[in-house]
Amino acid sequence: MGVKQKDKMLWVISMVLSMLMLVNGYPRISEHEIKTQKKNLTIDILMPGAHPSEEDSYICTSWLSEMEDTVYITKFEPLASADVVHHMLVFLCSDAKSPGTKWDCGHHQTCEESKIMFAWAKNAPPLTLPPDVGFRVTPGSYITVQIHYAKVFSSAEPPDSSGIRLHVSYEKPKNIAGIYLMVASDIRIPPNKEIVHSDVNCFSESTDAPIYVFGYRTHAHVLGKVITGYLYNATAHEFREFARGNPQWPQAFYPVSKPLKITSEDVIVARCTYSSVGRNRWTYVGMTHNDEMCNLYLMYYTDAIRGEPFFRCMDQQIALAKPIPADSDTPPPDNPNFEELAKGKNLGQVQAYTYAMENERGSESTSQAPSLLYNYYKEEPRQGRDFDNRNGYREVKGWANFGIELGQVTAVSLDPLGRVVLFHRGDRVWDGTTFDLRNRLRNANRGPISSDTILILQPSDGHLLESWGKDKFYLPHGLVIDQSGNYWLTDVGMHQIFKYSPKGDILLTLGEKLVPGGDRDHFCKPTDVAVLKDGTFFVSDGYCNRRVIKYSPGGQRIMEIGRAGSDAGGFLAGLFRNPGPTDFLIPHNLAMDHGRGILFVADREHGRIEAFTTNNMTAIGSISFPEAAGKVYAVDFLPQFGGLLFAVNGPNVFRPMKAFVIRPRDSKVLASFAPDKGSLAGPHDICVSPDGTSVYVAEIQSPQVWKFSLVSGMGKKSEDETPARPLRADERPISPSPEEMTNDAVKVSKFAVKEDTSQGIVLPAFLALLLLVVVLAVVIVYRKRSQHRKSVKAYTKTEKFAERHEGFRKLNTHDTDDDDSGDSDTEVFNRASTVRQ
């Protein structure tokens, strides 16, 4: 090594050491600065031995903030159980009774200038706020915990010490959190009435800064059936639903699918629906469990400087020009798990929720939290009905040799008779020349495809039974057949959605022919459709828009999630940041769990499957698995075996293309399978038979369709011996027992303050390591570039350089768009061949 190189290396080492000193605290900062920057605290506020002597006792206790600085609550962890506590409220107050004492706050005041921060009931889980959001607590403020005890304690029962654990931070967030409480003060429910309403509405009072609602909580007593929330546009007279909750479920703050921006000009509407069938008396509003309540809590974030932390809306303030939607009385789909978990002892089995946030570009990002899907799919299949390590799928040889030349096969589905239906493109191919820069179809003057694009096959042997679709479609994409045998199809060239009868008669058309767009009446290369049993349907508008839209059976638009348009900035943002539930990057395929009311969206370029409720499209979970290698092209749902997902990945450089069987509650891949040759060539859609015995995969590259059959007794074979690899016994996750999941309200000092300083150690170490890696990378690149310049000079003097330059071949761009392979049917990875001379 020369003198100059040694000098450079010494300089680099000295810079690294200097940076490490700075990261580790030199020059020294004050103890106060360390405290405010690095320390996180937990504060337990526990009831000091409550022993209710009468029904429906309301008892309070408080804590005084004696911190030197303002702190921010980032998480609420209930230390209570539904078999003891009816419900619990947490207030921020300007003054309260002596900290550490308890008092009757049912007949006396709770505290001065109270503002609700948190509410809990029915074994709801802990609540973690989104990043950069916190409830502000200034020095000298009081936090009061109010607990409603519905029952009298017997003399043998020990005093209660339920309460709340607060996780707080000294770091000032960009946004403060707040509660918007909607409450009805006049409730009158006659006896034995099937449906009774109590409505609340008012203009938002958020005049200084808008609020962004990210979660909602419903509260009513035993007669409450459903509580719905709407944003009402007083100009267009339109309702936008954002909340629908069953007050008999764990009364948590459930996440909205997309943060709801509310300004001072918006009208917020809530409706509580009751049923008094079986009750032979009138019921009125009141604080006891024999009375009723109508509360909708909206948790929001707002600007930390201009925003307000609390608003209240009571009764009906505005005469609406249009009635509240009739389906407001429809509760969410039954969930026996939720209804059971809302009773008895709190074992901590209700998973915490993920909340979406509006980022600077207007899309959502989320905090990381366990998925709601666990609660939907928690129940184990009955004995002998689980998909275990003895099951797998194997290719059916010689299936579908029907002698017709297929075009690109984009979709496969089953009709009510069990027949296999294919959607293909005939002589049309989607490649880099198919669309112009405005997403309009080039050469549209060729007209529609002149051959039948829909083929109906015998499921047993793939024999062609019939076909239709001639002169109807330009560039087929999605296909699903509903329970009545109607065909729902999407055409990315026409930018339209079609519904055909079983006889091939057109029943419904959405979108304008050959005209792309992102407004209410247009689509841009729509990808798929999913249909509920009542005819309500969903459309994934996925290539140049990034949204999923819900429609009524007649085709009236109800709501949408995601966003219109696919600007480059949004595309790159989706690649490099943690995407929120509706930050789609080509929502490519849809599937439905009709029994649980769940819509699954294959978010293609994010390599994940997003789950939403079908009633209000609330995000309830995300499924991703490394075997997909960042691409999920299609998904289907099987009700058997407790509920399973079937998916296919797409072209990538890391993993083979296969089909996968996935357990929704924990994203576990139970089996993977492919043709006997070892890999699929370009899967585009997947369909599983209702009994789970057959799976069909449509390929766009080959093109062809594969059939795989369920085979038992495959668990002892390795992946190399069989293409259908099930989950090995030693790969199964170890589920914690109920005892291990118990949320122990550990009896610590009544107002213990605990320090969590792990962040203060990990962060400097991480920064130091990151800095070291960056510097070493610079050194390595510098040295390699120096060596490369020398080798290039020598290499270009030889004949081999000219030979290899001649042998370079242009990459095949078939089936990809010109510049953006993400906005196309599939991606092809080709390697330039090198011929040895």
* pLDDT tens profile 585-610: 999 999 999 999 999 999 999 999 99
Q: Using the Cα atoms of residue 400, residue 403, residue 407 and residue 413 in order, give the sign of their dihedral.
A: negative
Q: Which amino acid is at 155?
A: S
pLDDT reading at 483 higher than 60? yes
Residue 357: its pLDDT value, please? 61
Residue 733: its pLDDT value, please? 31
Better-scored residue on pLDDT, 752 or 532: 532
CATH classification (class only), 181-332: mainly beta
Tell me if 219 is assigned to a ligand binding site.
yes
Tell me if 657 is assigned to a ligand binding site.
no
pLDDT reading at 690 higher than 50? yes
Nearest residue to 440 (alpha-carbon basis) of 518, 494, 511: 494
Strands (E), 511-623: 528-531, 537-541, 546-551, 557-563, 587-593, 598-603, 608-613, 619-623
- Strands 668-673 and 659-663: what pairing? antiparallel
- How much is the average pLDDT of 493-508? 97
The answer to whether the bond into 738 is cis (omega within 30° of 0) is: no
For the structural domain made of 41-173+749-756, what CATH number should be given? 2.60.120.310
| pLDDT category of residue 503 using cuts at 50, 70 and 90 | very high
Tell me if 522 is assigned to a ligand binding site.
no
Tell me if 495 is assigned to a ligand binding site.
no
Residue 833: its pLDDT value, please? 31
The structure tokens listed for 614 are 């079908």
Nearest residue to 431 (alpha-carbon basis) of 825, 822, 704: 825
- How much is the average pLDDT of 221-229? 96
SS (HEC) of 163-197: EEEEEEECCCCCEEEEEEEEECCCCEECCCCCCEE
The structure tokens listed for 315 are 């009764």
pLDDT reading at 215 higher than 90? yes
- Report the CATH superfamily, name and number, of domain 392-731: TolB, C-terminal domain (2.120.10.30)
Q: Using the Cα atoms of residue 234, residue 238, residue 239 and residue 242 in order, give the sign of their dihedral.
A: negative
Whole-Å CA distances, 774 to 16, 60, 729, 770, 784:
10, 55, 42, 6, 15
**Crossing angle between the packed helical segments 758-795 and 3-23, to the nearest 10 degrees:** 160
Whole-Å CA distances, 413 to 493, 526, 535, 591, 593:
21, 17, 18, 11, 16
Across 306-310, 348-352, 445-449, 740-744, least confident range: 740-744
pLDDT digits (tens, 9 = 90+) for 510-526: 999 999 999 999 999 99
Residue with tokens 């619990």, as numbered in its chain: 88
Better-scored residue on pLDDT, 123 or 687: 687
Residue 440: its pLDDT value, please? 97
Distance, CA of 95 to chain centre: 40
CATH fold match for the domains 41-173+749-756 and 392-731:
no
Distance, CA of 773 to CA of 210 (rounded, Å): 42
Across 31-40, 468-477, 657-666, least confident range: 31-40
Tell me if 814 is assigned to a ligand binding site.
no
- How much is the average pLDDT of 613-623? 88
Distance, CA of 175 to CA of 182 (rounded, Å): 22
pLDDT reading at 296 higher than 50? yes
Percent of the chain exceeding pLDDT 70 equals 73
Region for 621 from its dihedrals, namely left if φ exceeds 0, alpha if ψ lies in -120 to 50, beta otherwise? left
pLDDT digits (tens, 9 = 90+) for 234-250: 888 889 999 999 998 88
Residue 380: its pLDDT value, please? 61
| pLDDT category of residue 181 using cuts at 50, 70 and 90 | very high
**In sequence order, which residues have a C-beta less than 8 Å from that of residue 760 and are 6 or more positions away?**
34, 38, 39
Task: Indicate the average pLDDT of the chain.
Answer: 79
pLDDT reading at 817 higher than 60? no
Whole-Å CA distances, 438 to 53, 430, 463, 565, 605:
73, 16, 41, 11, 21
- How much is the average pLDDT of 412-416? 98
pLDDT reading at 223 higher than 80? yes
Residue 584: its pLDDT value, please? 94
Across 296-300, 704-708, 719-723, least confident range: 719-723
- Strands 133-137 and 175-183: what pairing? parallel
Tell me if 425 is assigned to a ligand binding site.
yes
With H, G, I as helix, E, B as strand and everything else as coil, classify residue 771: helix
DSSP letter for 288, please.
S
Distance, CA of 637 to CA of 686 (rounded, Å): 10
Residue 351: its pLDDT value, please? 53
DSSP letter for 577, please.
S
Residue ranges of domains in the chain:
1-38+758-796, 41-173+749-756, 181-332, 392-731
Tell me if 604 is assigned to a ligand binding site.
yes
Residue 773: its pLDDT value, please? 56
Contact by Cβ (8 Å): 574, 565: no
Residue 356: its pLDDT value, please? 55
Distance, CA of 755 to CA of 93 (rounded, Å): 24
Kindly report the pTM of this predicted structure: 0.52
Tell me if 805 is assigned to a ligand binding site.
no
Better-scored residue on pLDDT, 108 or 715: 108
Residue 734: its pLDDT value, please? 29
